[in-house]
Amino acid sequence: MLAWKIGGDQGEGIDSTGDVLAIVANRMGYYVYGYKHFSSRIKGGHTNYKVRIATTRVEATTRRTDILVALNQETIDRNAHELDGGLLLADSAFNPVLPASAKAHLLTLPLTEIAKGIGSAMMRNMVAVGASAALLQLPIAPFVEYVAAKFEKKGEAIVEANRKAVEMGYQRIVDEYAALLTYKLGEPMPGDRLVISGNDAIALGAIAGGCRLMCGYPITPATEIMESLAKWFPLVGGAVVQMEDELGSMTAVIGAGFAGARAMTATSGPGISLMQEAIGLASVTEIPAVIVDTQRGGPSTGMPTKQEQSDLLALLNGGHGDTLRVVLTPGSVEESFEDAVEAFNLAEQFQTPVIIATDLSLSLWQQSVERSKLKGPTQPIRHGVTFSREELLTLGEGVFQRYQITADGISPRSLPGEINGQYLATGVEHGPSGKVSEDPINRTQMMNKRLLKLQAIHQVREGFKYEGPEEPELILVGIGSTVGILREAAAHLEAKVGVAWFRTLSPFPTERVQSVLAVAQHILVVEQNALGQIRQLMTVHGVADARFDSFLKYDGVPFLPEEVVARAKPLLNLLEVY
Protein backbone atom coordinates (compact mmCIF):
# COMPACT_ATOMS: atom_id res chain seq x y z
CA MET A 1 0.00 0.00 0.00
CA LEU A 2 1.34 3.42 -1.01
CA ALA A 3 0.17 6.97 -0.33
CA TRP A 4 0.67 9.67 -2.97
CA LYS A 5 -0.13 13.34 -2.47
CA ILE A 6 -0.10 16.46 -4.63
CA GLY A 7 -0.38 20.00 -3.28
CA GLY A 8 -0.55 23.56 -4.58
CA ASP A 9 -2.82 26.58 -4.76
CA GLN A 10 -6.55 26.02 -4.89
CA GLY A 11 -7.90 26.47 -8.41
CA GLU A 12 -4.77 25.09 -10.12
CA GLY A 13 -6.16 21.69 -11.04
CA ILE A 14 -5.04 19.73 -7.98
CA ASP A 15 -8.33 17.81 -7.87
CA SER A 16 -8.23 16.81 -11.53
CA THR A 17 -4.65 15.56 -11.15
CA GLY A 18 -5.55 13.39 -8.18
CA ASP A 19 -8.66 12.12 -9.96
CA VAL A 20 -6.61 10.96 -12.93
CA LEU A 21 -4.25 8.97 -10.72
CA ALA A 22 -7.10 7.45 -8.67
CA ILE A 23 -9.26 6.50 -11.65
CA VAL A 24 -6.43 4.98 -13.66
CA ALA A 25 -5.09 3.01 -10.69
CA ASN A 26 -8.60 1.71 -10.02
CA ARG A 27 -8.98 0.63 -13.64
CA MET A 28 -5.68 -1.20 -13.40
CA GLY A 29 -7.12 -3.32 -10.58
CA TYR A 30 -5.94 -1.47 -7.48
CA TYR A 31 -8.14 -0.19 -4.67
CA VAL A 32 -7.95 3.56 -4.08
CA TYR A 33 -9.08 6.06 -1.48
CA GLY A 34 -8.80 9.80 -2.07
CA TYR A 35 -8.71 12.48 0.62
CA LYS A 36 -8.80 16.19 -0.21
CA HIS A 37 -7.81 19.10 2.00
CA PHE A 38 -9.29 22.33 0.68
CA SER A 39 -10.25 25.77 1.95
CA SER A 40 -13.67 27.43 2.03
CA ARG A 41 -12.96 29.51 -1.06
CA ILE A 42 -13.10 29.14 -4.84
CA LYS A 43 -9.50 30.05 -5.66
CA GLY A 44 -6.33 30.58 -3.65
CA GLY A 45 -5.14 29.05 -0.42
CA HIS A 46 -3.39 25.74 0.02
CA THR A 47 -5.04 22.52 -1.13
CA ASN A 48 -3.82 18.97 -1.39
CA TYR A 49 -5.12 15.60 -2.54
CA LYS A 50 -3.88 12.32 -1.08
CA VAL A 51 -4.56 9.02 -2.81
CA ARG A 52 -3.89 5.68 -1.15
CA ILE A 53 -3.34 2.83 -3.59
CA ALA A 54 -3.56 -0.75 -2.37
CA THR A 55 -4.22 -4.35 -3.34
CA THR A 56 -6.98 -4.63 -0.71
CA ARG A 57 -9.96 -2.44 0.23
CA VAL A 58 -9.01 0.87 1.83
CA GLU A 59 -11.54 3.21 3.51
CA ALA A 60 -9.41 5.80 5.29
CA THR A 61 -6.58 8.22 4.83
CA THR A 62 -3.34 7.85 6.78
CA ARG A 63 -0.60 9.95 8.36
CA ARG A 64 2.25 8.74 6.17
CA THR A 65 2.90 9.94 2.61
CA ASP A 66 5.30 8.01 0.38
CA ILE A 67 5.39 10.38 -2.60
CA LEU A 68 4.65 14.10 -2.40
CA VAL A 69 4.31 16.25 -5.52
CA ALA A 70 4.76 19.95 -4.66
CA LEU A 71 3.71 22.73 -7.00
CA ASN A 72 4.77 25.45 -4.56
CA GLN A 73 6.90 25.91 -1.45
CA GLU A 74 3.87 26.05 0.86
CA THR A 75 3.09 22.46 -0.03
CA ILE A 76 6.55 21.41 1.12
CA ASP A 77 6.35 23.43 4.32
CA ARG A 78 2.93 22.02 5.23
CA ASN A 79 3.36 18.38 4.21
CA ALA A 80 7.04 17.36 4.21
CA HIS A 81 6.75 16.05 7.78
CA GLU A 82 4.62 13.18 6.45
CA LEU A 83 7.56 11.89 4.40
CA ASP A 84 9.62 9.46 6.46
CA GLY A 85 12.24 8.61 3.89
CA GLY A 86 9.76 9.18 1.05
CA LEU A 87 10.14 11.02 -2.24
CA LEU A 88 9.41 14.72 -2.72
CA LEU A 89 8.97 15.76 -6.35
CA ALA A 90 8.94 19.56 -6.73
CA ASP A 91 8.60 21.93 -9.65
CA SER A 92 12.02 23.56 -10.05
CA ALA A 93 10.25 26.78 -11.14
CA PHE A 94 9.87 27.96 -7.52
CA ASN A 95 13.37 26.91 -6.30
CA PRO A 96 12.14 24.34 -3.75
CA VAL A 97 13.78 24.13 -0.33
CA LEU A 98 13.54 21.02 1.83
CA PRO A 99 13.11 21.83 5.56
CA ALA A 100 16.06 20.75 7.70
CA SER A 101 13.83 18.48 9.77
CA ALA A 102 12.37 16.67 6.75
CA LYS A 103 13.36 13.08 6.08
CA ALA A 104 12.88 12.87 2.34
CA HIS A 105 14.64 12.64 -1.00
CA LEU A 106 14.13 15.88 -2.95
CA LEU A 107 13.63 15.43 -6.69
CA THR A 108 13.14 18.41 -8.96
CA LEU A 109 11.74 18.61 -12.47
CA PRO A 110 10.93 21.72 -14.53
CA LEU A 111 7.22 20.81 -14.66
CA THR A 112 6.12 24.30 -15.69
CA GLU A 113 8.90 24.66 -18.26
CA ILE A 114 8.08 21.30 -19.84
CA ALA A 115 4.40 22.21 -20.03
CA LYS A 116 5.14 25.57 -21.64
CA GLY A 117 7.34 23.85 -24.19
CA ILE A 118 4.43 21.65 -25.18
CA GLY A 119 2.08 24.59 -25.52
CA SER A 120 0.66 25.75 -22.19
CA ALA A 121 1.67 25.99 -18.54
CA MET A 122 -1.78 24.60 -17.73
CA MET A 123 -0.50 21.15 -18.74
CA ARG A 124 1.91 21.14 -15.79
CA ASN A 125 -0.47 18.82 -13.97
CA MET A 126 -0.37 16.27 -16.79
CA VAL A 127 3.43 16.35 -16.64
CA ALA A 128 3.09 15.68 -12.91
CA VAL A 129 0.76 12.75 -13.63
CA GLY A 130 3.34 11.12 -15.88
CA ALA A 131 6.14 11.74 -13.39
CA SER A 132 4.00 10.27 -10.59
CA ALA A 133 3.24 7.15 -12.61
CA ALA A 134 6.98 6.62 -13.05
CA LEU A 135 7.69 7.12 -9.33
CA LEU A 136 4.98 4.57 -8.49
CA GLN A 137 6.41 2.25 -11.16
CA LEU A 138 3.04 1.98 -12.86
CA PRO A 139 2.90 1.44 -16.63
CA ILE A 140 2.34 4.56 -18.66
CA ALA A 141 -0.04 3.09 -21.24
CA PRO A 142 -3.22 3.22 -19.07
CA PHE A 143 -2.55 6.89 -18.28
CA VAL A 144 -2.11 7.77 -21.94
CA GLU A 145 -5.31 5.91 -22.81
CA TYR A 146 -7.26 7.72 -20.10
CA VAL A 147 -5.97 11.14 -21.14
CA ALA A 148 -6.89 10.43 -24.76
CA ALA A 149 -10.46 9.54 -23.76
CA LYS A 150 -10.74 12.46 -21.33
CA PHE A 151 -9.78 15.12 -23.89
CA GLU A 152 -11.24 13.44 -26.98
CA LYS A 153 -14.05 15.97 -27.39
CA LYS A 154 -11.57 18.86 -27.38
CA GLY A 155 -9.88 17.74 -30.55
CA GLU A 156 -6.80 15.82 -31.63
CA ALA A 157 -4.40 18.70 -30.93
CA ILE A 158 -5.41 18.85 -27.26
CA VAL A 159 -5.27 15.08 -26.93
CA GLU A 160 -1.80 14.98 -28.46
CA ALA A 161 -0.49 17.79 -26.25
CA ASN A 162 -1.70 16.13 -23.06
CA ARG A 163 -0.42 12.75 -24.16
CA LYS A 164 2.98 14.28 -24.76
CA ALA A 165 2.90 15.97 -21.35
CA VAL A 166 2.27 12.65 -19.58
CA GLU A 167 4.95 10.85 -21.57
CA MET A 168 7.58 13.55 -21.04
CA GLY A 169 6.97 13.65 -17.27
CA TYR A 170 7.27 9.88 -17.13
CA GLN A 171 10.43 9.69 -19.21
CA ARG A 172 12.23 12.49 -17.36
CA ILE A 173 11.83 10.60 -14.08
CA VAL A 174 13.08 7.37 -15.63
CA ASP A 175 16.06 9.14 -17.18
CA GLU A 176 17.09 11.25 -14.20
CA TYR A 177 16.01 9.35 -11.10
CA ALA A 178 16.09 5.67 -11.98
CA ALA A 179 18.06 4.84 -8.83
CA LEU A 180 15.23 6.13 -6.62
CA LEU A 181 12.48 4.09 -8.28
CA THR A 182 12.20 1.56 -5.46
CA TYR A 183 8.48 1.70 -4.68
CA LYS A 184 6.57 -1.29 -5.96
CA LEU A 185 2.87 -1.94 -5.56
CA GLY A 186 1.73 -5.54 -5.33
CA GLU A 187 -0.07 -7.31 -8.13
CA PRO A 188 -3.40 -5.64 -8.93
CA MET A 189 -6.66 -7.40 -8.08
CA PRO A 190 -8.84 -7.57 -11.22
CA GLY A 191 -12.47 -6.65 -10.70
CA ASP A 192 -15.33 -4.44 -11.80
CA ARG A 193 -15.00 -1.44 -9.51
CA LEU A 194 -16.04 2.19 -9.63
CA VAL A 195 -14.33 5.18 -8.07
CA ILE A 196 -17.26 6.90 -6.42
CA SER A 197 -18.18 9.20 -3.53
CA GLY A 198 -20.97 8.83 -1.01
CA ASN A 199 -22.86 11.73 -2.58
CA ASP A 200 -22.94 10.01 -5.96
CA ALA A 201 -23.91 6.74 -4.30
CA ILE A 202 -26.87 8.48 -2.64
CA ALA A 203 -27.92 10.00 -5.97
CA LEU A 204 -27.82 6.57 -7.62
CA GLY A 205 -29.66 5.01 -4.70
CA ALA A 206 -32.38 7.65 -4.87
CA ILE A 207 -32.98 6.82 -8.52
CA ALA A 208 -33.02 3.08 -7.79
CA GLY A 209 -35.45 3.76 -4.93
CA GLY A 210 -37.97 5.41 -7.25
CA CYS A 211 -37.23 9.07 -6.46
CA ARG A 212 -38.12 11.32 -9.37
CA LEU A 213 -37.98 14.81 -7.82
CA MET A 214 -35.18 16.58 -5.99
CA CYS A 215 -35.76 20.09 -4.61
CA GLY A 216 -32.67 21.69 -3.14
CA TYR A 217 -30.47 24.70 -2.60
CA PRO A 218 -26.67 24.50 -3.13
CA ILE A 219 -24.59 24.02 0.01
CA THR A 220 -21.25 22.36 0.76
CA PRO A 221 -20.85 19.39 0.97
CA ALA A 222 -24.29 18.32 -0.35
CA THR A 223 -24.37 20.10 -3.71
CA GLU A 224 -22.97 17.14 -5.67
CA ILE A 225 -26.15 15.16 -4.95
CA MET A 226 -28.21 17.80 -6.73
CA GLU A 227 -25.68 18.13 -9.55
CA SER A 228 -25.50 14.37 -10.13
CA LEU A 229 -29.27 13.98 -10.15
CA ALA A 230 -29.53 16.89 -12.59
CA LYS A 231 -27.34 14.85 -14.97
CA TRP A 232 -29.02 11.49 -14.41
CA PHE A 233 -32.70 12.29 -13.81
CA PRO A 234 -33.47 13.04 -17.49
CA LEU A 235 -32.66 9.39 -18.24
CA VAL A 236 -35.52 8.21 -16.02
CA GLY A 237 -38.01 11.05 -16.28
CA GLY A 238 -37.06 12.83 -13.07
CA ALA A 239 -36.45 16.51 -12.36
CA VAL A 240 -34.26 18.68 -10.15
CA VAL A 241 -35.64 22.04 -9.01
CA GLN A 242 -33.28 24.58 -7.46
CA MET A 243 -35.37 26.39 -4.87
CA GLU A 244 -34.98 29.86 -3.41
CA ASP A 245 -33.79 28.52 -0.05
CA GLU A 246 -33.79 25.46 2.20
CA LEU A 247 -37.21 26.12 3.68
CA GLY A 248 -38.72 26.25 0.20
CA SER A 249 -36.89 23.03 -0.67
CA MET A 250 -38.34 21.17 2.30
CA THR A 251 -41.91 22.36 1.82
CA ALA A 252 -41.79 21.51 -1.89
CA VAL A 253 -40.70 17.97 -1.01
CA ILE A 254 -43.61 17.71 1.45
CA GLY A 255 -46.03 18.87 -1.23
CA ALA A 256 -44.70 16.29 -3.66
CA GLY A 257 -44.94 13.55 -1.02
CA PHE A 258 -48.54 14.55 -0.27
CA ALA A 259 -49.32 14.17 -3.97
CA GLY A 260 -47.78 10.68 -4.06
CA ALA A 261 -44.36 11.38 -5.61
CA ARG A 262 -41.11 10.12 -4.18
CA ALA A 263 -39.16 13.31 -3.51
CA MET A 264 -36.06 14.37 -1.59
CA THR A 265 -33.82 17.24 -0.62
CA ALA A 266 -30.17 17.37 0.43
CA THR A 267 -28.42 19.91 2.62
CA SER A 268 -25.96 20.38 5.46
CA GLY A 269 -26.19 21.67 9.03
CA PRO A 270 -27.26 25.29 8.33
CA GLY A 271 -29.93 24.04 5.93
CA ILE A 272 -31.20 21.49 8.46
CA SER A 273 -31.67 24.33 10.94
CA LEU A 274 -33.88 26.18 8.45
CA MET A 275 -35.87 23.04 7.62
CA GLN A 276 -36.73 21.98 11.16
CA GLU A 277 -40.24 23.45 11.35
CA ALA A 278 -41.15 21.98 7.97
CA ILE A 279 -39.78 18.57 9.00
CA GLY A 280 -42.15 18.81 11.96
CA LEU A 281 -44.98 19.54 9.53
CA ALA A 282 -44.19 16.34 7.62
CA SER A 283 -44.19 14.44 10.91
CA VAL A 284 -47.57 15.64 12.18
CA THR A 285 -49.27 15.35 8.77
CA GLU A 286 -47.64 11.93 8.26
CA ILE A 287 -46.32 12.72 4.80
CA PRO A 288 -43.32 10.84 3.31
CA ALA A 289 -40.19 12.93 2.76
CA VAL A 290 -36.47 12.12 2.46
CA ILE A 291 -33.79 14.53 3.64
CA VAL A 292 -30.02 14.04 3.35
CA ASP A 293 -27.79 15.86 5.85
CA THR A 294 -24.12 15.89 4.87
CA GLN A 295 -22.62 17.05 8.16
CA ARG A 296 -19.80 19.60 8.27
CA GLY A 297 -18.12 21.75 10.88
CA GLY A 298 -20.48 24.04 12.80
CA PRO A 299 -22.10 25.92 14.43
CA SER A 300 -23.45 28.59 12.07
CA THR A 301 -21.33 28.74 8.90
CA GLY A 302 -18.60 27.01 10.90
CA MET A 303 -16.12 25.25 8.66
CA PRO A 304 -17.97 24.40 5.41
CA THR A 305 -15.17 22.26 3.97
CA LYS A 306 -14.17 20.37 7.12
CA GLN A 307 -15.22 17.06 8.63
CA GLU A 308 -17.53 16.81 11.64
CA GLN A 309 -20.40 14.69 13.01
CA SER A 310 -22.10 17.26 15.23
CA ASP A 311 -25.66 17.47 13.82
CA LEU A 312 -26.86 14.24 15.43
CA LEU A 313 -28.79 15.70 18.36
CA ALA A 314 -30.30 18.33 16.08
CA LEU A 315 -31.47 15.67 13.65
CA LEU A 316 -33.18 13.76 16.44
CA ASN A 317 -34.50 16.61 18.56
CA GLY A 318 -34.08 19.84 16.60
CA GLY A 319 -37.75 20.46 15.93
CA HIS A 320 -40.18 21.79 18.51
CA GLY A 321 -42.65 19.43 20.14
CA ASP A 322 -42.43 15.68 20.67
CA THR A 323 -41.67 13.92 17.41
CA LEU A 324 -39.70 10.91 16.38
CA ARG A 325 -37.83 11.10 13.08
CA VAL A 326 -36.22 8.19 11.31
CA VAL A 327 -32.48 8.89 11.13
CA LEU A 328 -30.33 6.52 9.09
CA THR A 329 -26.52 6.57 9.38
CA PRO A 330 -24.70 4.78 6.56
CA GLY A 331 -21.13 3.74 7.37
CA SER A 332 -19.75 3.29 3.85
CA VAL A 333 -20.34 4.26 0.23
CA GLU A 334 -22.22 1.01 -0.31
CA GLU A 335 -24.45 1.67 2.69
CA SER A 336 -25.05 5.22 1.41
CA PHE A 337 -26.52 3.65 -1.73
CA GLU A 338 -28.54 1.11 0.27
CA ASP A 339 -29.94 3.74 2.62
CA ALA A 340 -30.92 6.03 -0.22
CA VAL A 341 -32.98 3.19 -1.68
CA GLU A 342 -34.45 2.16 1.66
CA ALA A 343 -35.20 5.70 2.86
CA PHE A 344 -38.01 6.05 0.33
CA ASN A 345 -39.48 2.69 1.32
CA LEU A 346 -39.40 3.62 5.01
CA ALA A 347 -40.82 7.09 4.36
CA GLU A 348 -43.85 5.66 2.57
CA GLN A 349 -44.27 2.57 4.74
CA PHE A 350 -44.24 4.60 7.97
CA GLN A 351 -45.57 7.85 6.46
CA THR A 352 -42.87 10.00 7.97
CA PRO A 353 -39.79 12.10 7.16
CA VAL A 354 -36.62 10.03 6.90
CA ILE A 355 -33.21 11.66 7.34
CA ILE A 356 -30.00 10.15 5.98
CA ALA A 357 -27.10 11.48 8.08
CA THR A 358 -23.73 11.29 6.34
CA ASP A 359 -20.65 13.45 6.89
CA LEU A 360 -18.26 15.43 4.72
CA SER A 361 -15.68 12.63 4.41
CA LEU A 362 -18.23 10.01 3.45
CA SER A 363 -19.97 12.45 1.12
CA LEU A 364 -17.00 13.79 -0.84
CA TRP A 365 -14.00 11.45 -0.74
CA GLN A 366 -13.87 8.96 -3.59
CA GLN A 367 -12.93 5.31 -3.21
CA SER A 368 -13.05 2.00 -5.03
CA VAL A 369 -16.38 0.21 -4.72
CA GLU A 370 -17.55 -3.01 -6.35
CA ARG A 371 -20.02 -2.14 -9.10
CA SER A 372 -22.21 -5.07 -8.03
CA LYS A 373 -22.92 -3.26 -4.74
CA LEU A 374 -24.61 -0.39 -6.60
CA LYS A 375 -27.04 -2.25 -8.83
CA GLY A 376 -30.40 -1.46 -7.30
CA PRO A 377 -32.71 -2.74 -4.57
CA THR A 378 -32.71 -6.40 -3.56
CA GLN A 379 -36.39 -6.17 -2.66
CA PRO A 380 -39.36 -4.52 -4.36
CA ILE A 381 -40.36 -0.94 -3.68
CA ARG A 382 -42.73 -0.69 -0.71
CA HIS A 383 -45.42 1.97 -0.94
CA GLY A 384 -47.04 1.29 2.41
CA VAL A 385 -50.73 1.04 3.24
CA THR A 386 -53.06 2.88 0.87
CA PHE A 387 -56.74 2.71 0.01
CA SER A 388 -57.36 1.68 -3.59
CA ARG A 389 -59.83 3.58 -5.73
CA GLU A 390 -62.21 0.65 -5.53
CA GLU A 391 -62.07 0.63 -1.72
CA LEU A 392 -62.65 4.38 -1.57
CA LEU A 393 -65.69 4.12 -3.84
CA THR A 394 -67.32 1.64 -1.48
CA LEU A 395 -66.88 3.95 1.52
CA GLY A 396 -69.01 6.85 0.47
CA GLU A 397 -68.32 10.57 0.92
CA GLY A 398 -66.99 11.71 4.31
CA VAL A 399 -66.34 8.21 5.67
CA PHE A 400 -62.61 7.83 4.98
CA GLN A 401 -60.46 8.64 8.01
CA ARG A 402 -56.93 9.55 7.00
CA TYR A 403 -55.60 9.40 10.57
CA GLN A 404 -57.64 6.55 11.97
CA ILE A 405 -56.28 4.81 15.06
CA THR A 406 -54.76 1.44 14.13
CA ALA A 407 -52.98 -1.30 16.04
CA ASP A 408 -49.57 -0.42 14.59
CA GLY A 409 -50.12 3.34 14.39
CA ILE A 410 -50.02 3.40 10.59
CA SER A 411 -53.19 4.70 8.92
CA PRO A 412 -54.00 3.90 5.28
CA ARG A 413 -53.73 6.98 3.11
CA SER A 414 -55.24 8.18 -0.13
CA LEU A 415 -53.87 10.65 -2.64
CA PRO A 416 -55.36 14.06 -3.44
CA GLY A 417 -58.01 13.92 -6.16
CA GLU A 418 -59.26 10.42 -5.41
CA ILE A 419 -63.02 10.21 -4.96
CA ASN A 420 -64.01 9.88 -1.29
CA GLY A 421 -60.37 10.30 -0.26
CA GLN A 422 -58.86 12.80 2.15
CA TYR A 423 -57.74 16.24 0.99
CA LEU A 424 -57.05 17.82 4.37
CA ALA A 425 -53.54 17.76 5.90
CA THR A 426 -52.94 20.37 8.59
CA GLY A 427 -50.04 21.09 10.92
CA VAL A 428 -52.54 21.85 13.68
CA GLU A 429 -53.40 18.86 15.86
CA HIS A 430 -56.25 16.94 14.27
CA GLY A 431 -58.51 13.97 14.77
CA PRO A 432 -58.88 10.80 12.69
CA SER A 433 -60.72 12.69 9.94
CA GLY A 434 -57.97 15.28 9.64
CA LYS A 435 -60.12 18.08 11.04
CA VAL A 436 -58.61 20.32 13.74
CA SER A 437 -59.10 19.03 17.26
CA GLU A 438 -57.63 20.07 20.61
CA ASP A 439 -59.59 17.53 22.62
CA PRO A 440 -57.25 16.16 25.34
CA ILE A 441 -58.14 12.50 24.71
CA ASN A 442 -57.71 12.92 20.96
CA ARG A 443 -54.39 14.72 21.47
CA THR A 444 -53.05 11.84 23.55
CA GLN A 445 -54.24 9.24 21.04
CA MET A 446 -52.73 11.05 18.05
CA MET A 447 -49.41 11.63 19.78
CA ASN A 448 -49.19 7.97 20.87
CA LYS A 449 -50.10 6.85 17.36
CA ARG A 450 -47.29 8.86 15.76
CA LEU A 451 -44.72 7.71 18.31
CA LEU A 452 -45.82 4.07 18.22
CA LYS A 453 -45.62 3.49 14.49
CA LEU A 454 -41.89 4.12 14.15
CA GLN A 455 -40.84 1.45 16.64
CA ALA A 456 -41.64 -1.23 14.07
CA ILE A 457 -38.69 -0.04 11.96
CA HIS A 458 -36.42 -2.35 13.97
CA GLN A 459 -38.40 -5.28 12.53
CA VAL A 460 -37.42 -4.38 8.96
CA ARG A 461 -33.94 -2.94 9.54
CA GLU A 462 -30.91 -3.86 11.63
CA GLY A 463 -30.09 -0.66 13.45
CA PHE A 464 -26.68 -1.60 14.86
CA LYS A 465 -24.13 -3.78 13.09
CA TYR A 466 -21.09 -5.64 14.30
CA GLU A 467 -18.12 -7.43 12.77
CA GLY A 468 -15.32 -9.09 14.68
CA PRO A 469 -14.63 -11.88 17.19
CA GLU A 470 -17.40 -13.47 19.24
CA GLU A 471 -15.80 -12.51 22.58
CA PRO A 472 -13.97 -9.23 21.93
CA GLU A 473 -11.70 -7.56 24.43
CA LEU A 474 -12.59 -4.23 22.85
CA ILE A 475 -15.35 -2.97 20.57
CA LEU A 476 -14.81 0.25 18.63
CA VAL A 477 -18.12 2.08 18.03
CA GLY A 478 -18.74 4.79 15.45
CA ILE A 479 -20.90 6.08 12.62
CA GLY A 480 -20.40 7.38 9.11
CA SER A 481 -16.90 7.70 7.69
CA THR A 482 -15.29 6.67 10.98
CA VAL A 483 -16.41 3.07 10.38
CA GLY A 484 -13.75 2.45 7.72
CA ILE A 485 -11.16 4.08 9.97
CA LEU A 486 -12.14 1.78 12.84
CA ARG A 487 -11.85 -1.27 10.60
CA GLU A 488 -8.28 -0.38 9.69
CA ALA A 489 -7.40 0.39 13.30
CA ALA A 490 -8.86 -2.94 14.47
CA ALA A 491 -6.75 -4.79 11.91
CA HIS A 492 -3.59 -3.26 13.40
CA LEU A 493 -4.42 -4.05 17.02
CA GLU A 494 -3.02 -7.42 18.03
CA ALA A 495 -6.01 -8.33 20.16
CA LYS A 496 -9.63 -9.42 19.90
CA VAL A 497 -11.10 -6.16 18.63
CA GLY A 498 -14.47 -5.76 16.96
CA VAL A 499 -16.12 -2.85 15.15
CA ALA A 500 -19.75 -1.81 15.66
CA TRP A 501 -21.62 0.99 14.01
CA PHE A 502 -25.08 2.53 14.01
CA ARG A 503 -27.23 2.07 10.91
CA THR A 504 -30.30 3.58 12.53
CA LEU A 505 -29.91 6.29 15.14
CA SER A 506 -33.62 7.01 15.53
CA PRO A 507 -35.65 5.23 16.70
CA PHE A 508 -32.74 4.11 18.86
CA PRO A 509 -32.04 0.34 18.51
CA THR A 510 -31.70 -0.22 22.26
CA GLU A 511 -32.12 -4.00 22.39
CA ARG A 512 -29.72 -4.61 19.50
CA VAL A 513 -27.04 -2.34 21.01
CA GLN A 514 -27.31 -4.05 24.38
CA SER A 515 -27.05 -7.48 22.77
CA VAL A 516 -23.96 -6.63 20.68
CA LEU A 517 -22.05 -4.83 23.41
CA ALA A 518 -22.86 -7.23 26.25
CA VAL A 519 -19.84 -9.48 25.53
CA ALA A 520 -17.19 -6.71 25.28
CA GLN A 521 -14.69 -6.02 28.05
CA HIS A 522 -14.06 -2.45 26.85
CA ILE A 523 -15.98 -0.14 24.52
CA LEU A 524 -14.49 2.92 22.82
CA VAL A 525 -16.96 5.31 21.18
CA VAL A 526 -15.17 7.24 18.42
CA GLU A 527 -16.93 10.34 17.08
CA GLN A 528 -16.15 13.70 15.50
CA ASN A 529 -17.84 16.22 17.75
CA ALA A 530 -17.03 17.99 21.00
CA LEU A 531 -20.00 16.87 23.10
CA GLY A 532 -19.82 13.11 22.58
CA GLN A 533 -23.28 13.04 21.06
CA ILE A 534 -23.38 9.30 20.32
CA ARG A 535 -22.18 8.53 23.83
CA GLN A 536 -24.89 10.85 25.18
CA LEU A 537 -27.56 8.96 23.27
CA MET A 538 -26.24 5.63 24.50
CA THR A 539 -26.35 6.93 28.07
CA VAL A 540 -29.89 8.29 27.71
CA HIS A 541 -31.07 4.93 26.40
CA GLY A 542 -29.40 3.03 29.21
CA VAL A 543 -26.77 1.13 27.24
CA ALA A 544 -23.63 2.92 28.52
CA ASP A 545 -21.79 1.77 31.65
CA ALA A 546 -18.34 1.72 33.26
CA ARG A 547 -16.84 -0.16 30.29
CA PHE A 548 -17.31 2.86 28.01
CA ASP A 549 -14.70 5.42 26.98
CA SER A 550 -14.95 8.25 24.46
CA PHE A 551 -12.50 9.39 21.79
CA LEU A 552 -13.50 12.78 20.43
CA LYS A 553 -12.04 14.89 17.64
CA TYR A 554 -13.44 18.20 16.40
CA ASP A 555 -10.59 20.02 14.65
CA GLY A 556 -12.08 19.49 11.19
CA VAL A 557 -9.58 16.78 10.22
CA PRO A 558 -10.75 13.16 9.89
CA PHE A 559 -9.55 10.56 12.36
CA LEU A 560 -6.47 8.62 11.29
CA PRO A 561 -6.30 4.86 11.94
CA GLU A 562 -3.02 5.49 13.77
CA GLU A 563 -4.78 7.82 16.22
CA VAL A 564 -7.44 5.25 17.04
CA VAL A 565 -4.78 2.57 17.54
CA ALA A 566 -2.87 4.82 19.95
CA ARG A 567 -6.03 5.63 21.92
CA ALA A 568 -7.17 1.99 22.06
CA LYS A 569 -3.89 0.44 23.21
CA PRO A 570 -4.08 1.64 26.83
CA LEU A 571 -7.45 -0.08 27.07
CA LEU A 572 -5.81 -3.30 25.92
CA ASN A 573 -2.52 -2.81 27.78
CA LEU A 574 -0.61 -3.22 24.52
CA LEU A 575 2.85 -1.72 23.97
CA GLU A 576 3.52 -2.45 20.30
CA VAL A 577 4.18 0.51 18.04
CA TYR A 578 1.87 0.96 15.08
CATH number, domain 2-180: 3.40.920.10
**What CATH architecture applies to the domain 462-572?**
3-Layer(aba) Sandwich (3.40)
DSSP class of residue 459 equals: H
CATH superfamily of the 195-374 domain: Thiamin diphosphate (ThDP)-binding fold, Pyr/PP domains (3.40.50.970)
DSSP 166-194: HHHHHHHHHHH-GGG------------EE
Over residues 450-494, the pLDDT tens digits come to 999 998 999 999 999 999 999 999 999 999 999 999 999 999 998
User: For the chain, which residues make up each domain, given as ranges?
Assistant: 2-180, 195-374, 389-457, 462-572
Distance of alpha carbon 320 from alpha carbon 9, whole angstroms: 44
Query: Rounded CA gap, 362 and 365, in Å?
Result: 6
What pLDDT was estimated at residue 377?
67
Strands (E) in 351-403, as ranges, are 353-359, 367-370
Q: What is the pLDDT of residue 378?
A: 64
Element (H, E) at 453: helix 440-453
**CATH fold match for the domains 2-180 and 195-374:** no
Low-confidence ranges of the chain (pLDDT < 70): 42, 377-379, 574-578
The candidate with the shortest Cα–Cα distance to 427, out of 261, 282, 321, 318, is 282
pLDDT tens figures, 281-313: 999 999 999 999 999 999 999 999 999 999 999
